[in-house]
Amino acid sequence: MRTVLTIAALTLQEGSRRRVLRSLAVLTAVLLGLSAWGFSEIAADYGGLTSGEAKVAGSTVLNLVMFGFSLIAALGTAFLAGPTLSGEVESGVALAMMTRPIRRVQVLAGKWLGLVAFGAGFVTVAGVAQFVIVRVTVDYWPPHPVTGLLLLAGQTAALLTLGLLFSTAISPMASGIVAVGLFGATWIAGVVGSVGDALGNPSVAMVGTVSRMLLPTDGLWRGAMNSFQDPALLAQVGSGVEESPFLSMQPLTWVYLVWAAVWTALVLGLAALSFQRRDL
C-alpha cells in the first residue's frame, strides 16, 4: 500500500509541477466568472418569469455549466492518464522505477488513485463554487449536491480508467484521443437516445441505453444532472423537456451504479493485465 500511495502522491505532484493545476484553476475561474455573469443576467432580465420558471432556467443552465466542468475534469484526467503511463514507458522514466522491488500493478493502482483524487478534487471544488454562485444569483440550491458530485467524480474515474487501459497498449497521444473520442460519442449517443425516448421510438432510445452500458460516463453524467435539478420544478413545467441534453428525468438505479463500479474495476483489471505483460 505504501508503494501505491507513493505513486499516487507522485502523480498528484506531477499534476501540480507540470502546471496542470494552474491551467485548470485559470480555466475554472474563467468558467465560474462567465457563469456568475450569466446567472445574474437570468435573475435581472427575466423578471417576467415566475419564480418556478426562473428556477427551471437556473437548473438547466446549472447543468450546462456543470457539463462544462465534467468535460474539463474527464478530458483533463484522460489526457493526464495517457502520458503518465505510456509516456513514461516511451521516455524511459519507467525503466529505473520498475526495477525497484515493486509490482507493476502497484504502480498502475497508484497512478489511478492519484488521477481519481485529482479529478474528484477538481469536480468538488469547481462544483461547490458553482452551487454557491447559483444560490446567490437565482436562489437555487440543487437537491442532492453530494450525490451529484460523487457521480461526476465517478464519471471522471470511469473515463480516466479507460484512458489508463489504452495507455498500457498504445501511445500517450493516441490513448488520450481515443478515450476522449469515445466519451464524446457516448454523450451524443445518449442525446440520440433521449430524443428517441421523447419521440416514443424504442429502437432510437436503445442507442442511448446500449452506449450507456458500454461506457458508463454518459449514464453517470445523467445521474449527476438528475441530482442537480429539482424534480418538482420539472413536473411544474411539464413535458417537452425530456429531450433536452441538459435535463434528466430519471435518477440512476442501484443496478446501474453497481454496473458502473464493476465496469471501472474490470477496465482497471484489464489495464493491470495489459501493463503486466508489456515489455518495457
Going from the C-alpha of 25 to that of each of 35, 121, 155, 176, 253, the distances in angstroms are 15, 12, 20, 21, 33
Q: Are 111 and 83 in contact (CB under 8 A)?
A: no
Rounded to the nearest angstrom, the gap between the alpha carbon of residue 100 and the centroid of all alpha carbons in its chain is: 34
Binding to another protein by residue 99, rule CB under 8 A? Answer: yes
Q: Are 246 and 225 in contact (CB under 8 A)?
A: yes
Q: Work out how close the CB of 4 gets to another protein at its nearest, in angstroms, rounded to a whole number.
A: 11
Q: Work out how close the CB of 172 gets to another protein at its nearest, in angstroms, rounded to a whole number.
A: 14
Q: Which is nearer to another protein, 93 or 232 (CB)?
A: 93
In angstroms, the CA 142 to CA 113 distance is 28
Size of the site for another protein (CB under 8 A): 23
In angstroms, the CA 239 to CA 191 distance is 17
Q: Work out how close the CB of 237 gets to another protein at its nearest, in angstroms, rounded to a whole number.
A: 50
Number of Cβ within a 10 Å radius of residue 269: 14
Kind plus residue range of the DSSP H or E element containing 115: helix 104-138
| Single-letter amino acid, residue 8 | A
Q: Which is nearer to another protein, 102 or 204 (CB)?
A: 102
Q: Which is nearer to another protein, 111 or 222 (CB)?
A: 111
* The one among 29, 128, 146, 280 contacting another protein by CB under 8 A: 280
- Which listed range, 25-33, 62-70, 88-96, 120-128, lies at the site for another protein (CB under 8 A)? 88-96
Binding to another protein by residue 1, rule CB under 8 A? Answer: no
Going from the C-alpha of 270 to that of each of 39, 108, 152, the distances in angstroms are 44, 11, 23
Q: Work out how close the CB of 27 gets to another protein at its nearest, in angstroms, rounded to a whole number.
A: 20
Q: What CA dihedral angle connects 190, 192, 193 and 196, to 10 degrees?
A: 160
* The one among 31, 49, 64, 98 contacting another protein by CB under 8 A: 98
Residues 102-141 that bind another protein (CB under 8 A): 102-103
* The one among 100, 200, 235, 240 contacting another protein by CB under 8 A: 100
Q: Work out how close the CB of 280 gets to another protein at its nearest, in angstroms, rounded to a whole number.
A: 4
Binding to another protein by residue 279, rule CB under 8 A? Answer: yes
- Written as nine digits, the cell of 120 is 474528484
List interacting residues with another protein (CB under 8 A). Answer: 2-3, 6, 10, 13-14, 17-18, 91-93, 95-103, 277, 279-280
